[in-house]
Amino acid sequence: MRSSRIIAGCVVATSAILSCFNTVEAQSFRHGGAEFNAVRSVVASNEKGYSVVVTEFLAHGELRPDGRNLWVAARNREAVPFRVLQIGPGDFCRAAFQTVEGQSIYDVFYGGEPLQGDPPAWTSRDGLLLETRKFRQCNLRSLDSVRAAFEAAEPIGADFVDGVFHADNPFGQIGQPFLSRYSGYLHVKEPGVFGFYVSSRDCGFLLIDGKEAAAAPGRHGPQRQARPGLRRDVRLAAGEHKFEYYHAAAGAGAVMSAAWEVNPPGEKPGRPQKIPADAFNAPFIGRLPAGRVNMRVGGQSPDFLAETTGDVPLPDNNIPLIGVKFSNVSPQTLTAPGARMQWDFGDGQTSDFPNVDHVYLRPGLYTATLSIRRGARKAEITNRIYVDRPRTAPRDKPHVLDEYLRIIETYDPARLDAEALLQLALAFEAKALAQPDEADAYLNKAVRAVRAALQDCSAAEGDGLLNVARLAGPMTRFRLGDSAAAYQIWLGAAGKCGAPEAKAACEIAAADVAVNDLLRPADAKKLLESAAINLADDRAGTIAADLHRVWGDCRAAAGDGPAARKSYLEAERLIGRPRQFNLETAQRGAHARSTEDFLTSKQYVRAAEELDMWLRRFPAARLDGYLTLLYARYWAGCERYAQAVGQADQLRAVAPDSPYTDQLLILAADCEMRLGRKDRAIATLHALVNDYPGSPLAPLARKNIEILEAEK
């Protein structure tokens, strides 16, 4: 069974919990000198023998950050000791309370003004509490320094656990440094000698009754074997002994582990075991769901649960898609026939089904709302939920992309922000890569989504659209062969990006398509002039280099060879690469050979991507001419003959003495014929014969001229 993260308590609410609300409604919401706004009930059967109950719920904006407006009382109104273990992220709350003999229903009151006094003191010594906090700089070799840093740090999460045996932060922020503390009591049944071990990444300090019992100070990896000198023996009497374990993970990895040997036979390490849950009386800690909410004003309210059920990673992307199950647990009096439900998931998407499997396109904090309307009356509840990759057990069945595609294909892309839009496009691309026979269909879905989101009235805006365009622009241009749509994508992104640099990058890319694909150098010139203004304060780096490179293409297309050459050389200079002739020669050769192979095998998409990479890395390759020849061969292979002719015109303007010009003119003449422009084909062949009479291709050109002129 999947070890899902429960965002709003448990998924199942027992009938006992639901039925107890008729009594709650008649109760006062005043406790501890404060008037509360909401209450949830927890049923704790005495048969279970729990001394402490942990419950989780969403507080719909009612809880203070410090938890001072929460109170727990038994149904007989007797206040019970409780702890607010965790508040946040969002409206998530985890609380623990002690049970009272003879009482099976407990009410968790919250919301409103803070308490005037303190709740009953916590007296239970059952269970082991783990708390994690944000990392603060400290001396990893000093217990006192780590302890002081922990006390001053911002909390992340807390819960009762079965033992000291974790390899990450159980409360999220995976891969981030953090501090942690385990605290509780060892319940020793028989006196004896206990040999303690600590294995940690980074430091770990174990204290028994306030005294250091074992330690692994400093920054290091975990000990994977019990070696001599690691065990620390402590003689303990029968009874309760205070247990503390401080830990710091200063990097991306973490290990927290405490083990023991009971009455070890000698100094030589034996087989240490994880300290069992029974030693902390962990079985006396119960986990029970909180019932649905009841409000002081308005009474019954809509309510829902949200459960993270899984995630799907995307190729070469550390941001997953996340599945969340939303369950309506509102009272039947609100959801009776005739009621209309509406979910707003906080990511721009909605649903009118009672229970919904939803896919969030990226982790984050979302504001989810469930509305119920009967006639003119509307009731709703809103919770901020934090969505992240769930913790899973090894035997959990992983979610697959196809399951999520069925959901996200229904999304309205115009209501997605830029980051979510990028994830949507990446998901479609991932399907295209995994299923080549359906690739064009899914790539078109990605492009349609992006184009819809680039309309003026869409939610996507800001500089994140540059990354969207960098994915969808080349996808449309090279893989789908739709240069006009690629041009519109870049223009749309330029219009919605805020930062001048991002806007300029989009304008430059649009100009590249305009001059080389659409053969509209005048439009390209306007875009480049605008980009130059946007880059007025940033005339170095790759974007500035791209600006001069495309200026080179634009000026070459206009026949201004000297200006084009100057632009290409300036682009090369702005890249700022150290001059290493042998290395650059090898890299250019690798690009050339790869492109040749792709063209020969008619892998035109890969050829285009290789040419684009080559040109960006070495803008001055335009001056040699071979790149331009291969570019023209690519266009001819794609049966876009006018674009191939355009490459020939650019090379004649920029590098008329290139050793590849004659080959390009022969190719251009063939393309002119395929376009039905015989006179231009003859003129191109005459240019080869007249300007390059020594070319080995000149005789072929003369023969073709004779044939074509004879056909007139």
In the chain the first and final C-alpha atoms are separated, in Å, by: 79
Give the three-class secondary structure for 193. strand
CB 43 within 8 A of CB 104: yes
Q: In the chain, what's the furthest Cα-to-Cα distance?
A: 113
Cα distances (angstroms) measured from residue 14 to each of 333, 354, 607:
18, 19, 62
H helices, E strands: number in the chain: 20, 30
User: What is the pLDDT at residue 23?
Assistant: 44
Name the burial class of residue 238, with classes exposed (0-12), middle (13-18) and buried (19+) by CB atoms within 10 angstroms of its CB: exposed
Distance CA 499, CA 493 (A): 12
The confidence score (pLDDT) of residue 172 equals 84
CB contact set of 609 (below 8 Å; sequence gap of 6+):
474, 478
How far apart CA 655 and CA 637 sit, in angstroms, is 23
pLDDT at 10: 37
**What are the extents of the domains in the chain?**
127-280, 300-403, 413-498, 581-710
Pick the CATH number of 300-403 from 3.90.1150.10, 1.10.10.60, 2.60.40.10, 3.40.50.2020: 2.60.40.10
Q: Considering the entire predicted model, what is its pTM?
A: 0.89
- Count of Cβ atoms closer than 10 Å to residue 14 Cβ: 15
- Determine how many CB atoms are found less than 10 A away from the CB of residue 151: 11
Percent share of the chain, pLDDT over 70: 95
pLDDT in tens, 538-561: 666 899 999 999 999 999 999 999
Residues 6+ apart with CB under 8 A from 527: 507, 508, 510, 511, 514
CATH top-level class for 127-280? mainly beta
What pLDDT is stored for residue 18 in this prediction? 41
Residue that the structure tokens 């080959």 belong to? 663
Pick among 1.20.1250.20, 3.40.50.720, 3.40.50.1820, 1.25.40.10: CATH of 581-710? 1.25.40.10
In this predicted model, what pLDDT tens digit does every residue of 105-136 receive, in sequence order? 999 999 998 888 889 999 999 999 999 999 99
Q: How confident is the model at residue 451 (pLDDT cuts 50, 70, 90)?
A: very high
Reading across the β-sheet that carries 70-74, which strands appear in turn?
A: 70-74, 105-110, 38-43, 294-295, 299-300
Report how far residue 555's alpha carbon sits from residue 549's, in angstroms, rounded to the nearest whole number. Answer: 10
What secondary structure letter does DSSP report for 79? B
Cβ contact 9:108 at 8 Å? no
Report pLDDT digits (tens) over 413-446.
999 999 999 999 999 999 999 999 999 999 999 9
The predicted pLDDT at position 609 comes to 96
Among 150-164, 223-237, 361-375, 410-424, name the one with the lowest average pLDDT: 223-237
Average pLDDT along the chain: 92
Higher pLDDT, 444 or 583: 444
Structural tokens at position 201: 């990444």
For residue 256, the cross-strand partners are 166, 200
φ, ψ (nearest 5 deg) of residue 364: 155, 180
Least confident range from 221-225, 311-315, 394-398, 443-447: namely 394-398
pLDDT of residue 271: 84
Buried (b) or exposed (e) across 378-393, using 16+ Cβ within 10 A?
Answer: ebebbbbbbbbbbbbe
Residue 22, pLDDT score: 41
For residue 507, the model assigns a pLDDT of 98
DSSP 34-72: EE-SEEEEEE--GGG--SEEEEEEE-TT-S-TT-TTEEE
Q: How far apart are CA 528 and CA 525, in angstroms?
A: 5
The CA distances from residue 429 to 53, 419, 450, 648, 666, in Å, are 46, 15, 12, 34, 38
Residue (of 128, 138, 221) closest to 179 by Cα position:
138
**pLDDT tens digit string along 390-402?**
877 666 789 999 9
